[in-house]
Amino acid sequence: MAAGSSRILRYLLFAFFGVMVLYFISSSSIPRPPIPAIPTEGFHWKGSTEGPTVDEVGGEKPGALNGQITSTAAVKASVASSQPLGTAAPMTPKPTLGLSPTVSTEGKMNATFVTLARNSDLWEIVKSIRQVEDRFNRNYHYDWVFLNDKPFDSTFKKVTSALISGTTHYEEIPEEHWSYPDFIDQERARKVREEMAEKKIIYGDSVSYRHMCRFESGFFFRQPIMNKFEWYWRVEPSIELYCDIAYDPFKFMADNKKKYSFVLSLYEYVETIETLWDSTKTYMQKHPEHLVKGNAMKWLSDDDGESYNHCHFWSNFEIGNLNWLRSPAYIDFFEQLDKDGGFFYERWGDAPVHSIAAALTLKKEEIHFFNDIAYYHVPFTHCPTGDQFRLDHKCHCNPKDNFDWKGYSCTTRWFDLNKMAKPEGWEDEKN
């Protein structure tokens, strides 16, 4: 009896081990979700005061982190979603990581995008950022500087840094760069605003618009953060970029000795700059040493400098050299204008200010028309002329909207002054 039951026990034990072996073999072939390899905490956009930045934890290496992420942008995107991945449900779809493959950042220029914005501009500036990234910067990862007369809030920082593939910087403008200088008669300035409001001049009654124009004319390039850079590309909210930019415009500028550039030009609203040319003449008399031989004065004036024809480059788009803006030639110009008070007693815009300075203090060859940067800022479009060009550059603008050759544009004058051949088909786009 004892021998019989021990035999049964042995059979049972064999059967049990057999079942266990079969179970292990079959379960080891069940596919398992991969274990996420992304660190789960402590990431912050550059400029944040808490915790290490992506760069500090080595996120800048393309293809790092287990091959799951291909760029700093992707790291940031995953960080911005701030999902602690160790606790995420295994089947949750991953955020769309990795735009297209990164190119080498060797030979990158000392350059940055720069945007002046309010917190309330967030949902318009993100549209611009998305376009700049998709059309260009996702392959280059240039920095982006944000400037504001108030502190940027955490939503603004979080959303913009998640979209930008380079390092982002957020700076508050010092009060002395966004207020009335002591020599300005504020009562006189107030009366001007009332008069302009009655005449329905755009932004005529706005104080903040005047501070903005003065800041863009005289101070953005002198902010401590901007001193780190040599080149800037200005981006405003709600712009569009219509074509791929498959080369580095900063490098193009440097290689071709350019200092300032534009995509749209037009005539300024005369009521806003009645005495701007008088101040310019004072500057020209005081500082003949800054007037460069071979400059573009003929683009500004049809009578050798006696009067201004109101042509200006539209400065909501600019790629330029910061050292030129920081040069005595430019600073002396700004200071003359500032003392004369037209930022407040009229409504001088930074576009004619930058344009006049560029046309007087640079050689005309140092100013570049970026035909291949197709651009929109309400209400004007630069859509490159030529069907094949637009197809080759994957453009999505309507050629009918192109402003270049219309009567109110100054770009035809620019081509004529520089003896540049106009593209085939330009005459069909005149009207």
Q: Which of 236, 271, 365, 401 binds ligand GDP (CB under 6 A)?
A: 236
Near ligand GDP by CB under 6 A, which window of 101-109, 117-125, 184-192, 256-264? 117-125
From residue 278, alpha-carbon distances to 282, 295, 357 in Å are 6, 19, 14
Least distance (Å) from ligand GDP to the CB of residue 103? 29
Q: Taking phi first (over 0 means left), then psi (-120 to 50 degrees means alpha), and beta for anything else, what does residue 190 get?
A: alpha
314 vs 370, beta carbon nearer ligand GDP: 314
Residue from 59, 166, 218, 237 that binds ligand GDP (CB under 6 A)? Answer: 237
Q: If binding is defined by CB under 6 A, does position 355 make contact with ligand GDP?
A: no
Q: With CB under 6 A as the contact rule, which of the stretches 88-96, 109-117, 157-165, 385-393 interacts with ligand GDP? A: 109-117
* Count of residues interacting with Mg ion (CB under 5 A): 2
Six-digit token string for 68: 């799951």
Q: Which does 208 bind (CB under 5 to 8 A by kind): ligand GDP, Mg ion, none?
A: ligand GDP
* 149 touching Mg ion, by CB under 5 A: no
Nearer to ligand GDP, 134 or 236 (CB): 236
Question: What residues have CB less than 8 Å from 335, skipping those under 6 apart?
Answer: 218
Determine the Cα–Cα distance for residues 322 and 79; give it in Å rounded to an integer: 33
Which of 122, 212, 359, 397 contacts ligand GDP by CB under 6 A?
A: 212
DSSP string covering 213-241: HHHHHHTGGGSGGGGG-SEEEE--TT-EE
Contact stretch for ligand GDP (CB under 6 A) within 115-123, 182-190, 337-345, 361-369: 115-123
Write down the least CB distance from residue 237 to Mg ion, Å.
6
Nearer of residues 142 and 152 to ligand GDP, judged by Cβ: 152
CB of 319 closer than 8 Å to CB of 233 = yes
Q: Is 335 a catalytic residue?
A: no
Report what 118 binds from ligand GDP, Mg ion, none; CB cut-off 5-8 Å by kind.
Answer: ligand GDP
* Residue 419 burial by Cβ neighbours in a 10 Å radius (0-12, 13-18, 19+): exposed
406 binds ligand GDP, rule: CB under 6 A: no
Give the nearer residue to Mg ion in terms of CB position, either 236 or 365: 236
| Smallest distance from Mg ion to CB 115, Å | 11
Q: Is 342 or 349 the residue whose CB approaches Mg ion more closely? A: 349
The sign of the CA dihedral 199, 201, 207, 213 is: negative
Position with the least CB separation from ligand GDP: 208
Interface with ligand GDP (CB under 6 A), residue total 12
Residue 315's binding partner out of ligand GDP, Mg ion, none, with CB under 5 to 8 Å set by partner kind:
none
CB 388 within 8 A of CB 237: no
- Of the residues 318, 346, 366, 429, only one is catalytic, namely 318
Locate 405 and state its tokens. 């050759």
Please state the closest distance from residue 428 (CB atom) to ligand GDP, in A. Answer: 29
Does 236 engage in binding with Mg ion (CB under 5 A)? yes
Distance CA 338, CA 205 (A): 19
| Contact pattern from residue 299 through residue 318 relative to ligand GDP, giving x for each residue in contact according to CB under 6 A and a dash for the rest | -----------------x--
Binding of residue 117 to ligand GDP (CB under 6 A) = yes
Q: Which residue has its beta carbon closest to Mg ion?
A: 236
Count CB neighbours of 247 within 10 A: 12
271 counts as binding Mg ion under rule CB under 5 A: no
In single-letter form, the type of residue at position 189 comes to: A
Q: Which amino acid is at 140?
A: Y
How far is it, in rounded angstroms, from Cα 91 to Cα 100? 24
Write down the least CB distance from residue 236 to Mg ion, Å.
4
What is the smallest separation between the CB atom of 212 and Mg ion, expressed in angstroms?
Answer: 10
Q: Under rule CB under 5 A, which residues in 306-345 are in contact with Mg ion?
A: 316
- Which of 113, 109, 169, 105 has the alpha carbon at shortest distance from 140? 105
Closest CA to 219 of 378, 343, 70: 343
Assess 366 for contact with ligand GDP (CB under 6 A). Answer: no
Show the site string, 168-187: x = touches ligand GDP by CB under 6 A, - = not: --------------------
Measured CA to CA, the distance from residue 126 to residue 169 in angstroms comes to: 15
**DSSP string of 20-75?**
HHHHHHHHTTS--PPPP-S--S--B-BTBSSS-BTGGGTTTSTTTTTTT--SHHHH
User: How are beta strands 111-116 and 231-234 bridged, if at all?
Assistant: parallel
CB 277 within 8 A of CB 331: no
- Positions that interact with Mg ion (CB under 5 A): 236, 316
Catalytic residues: 318
- Positions that interact with ligand GDP (CB under 6 A): 115-118, 121, 148-149, 208, 212, 236-237, 316
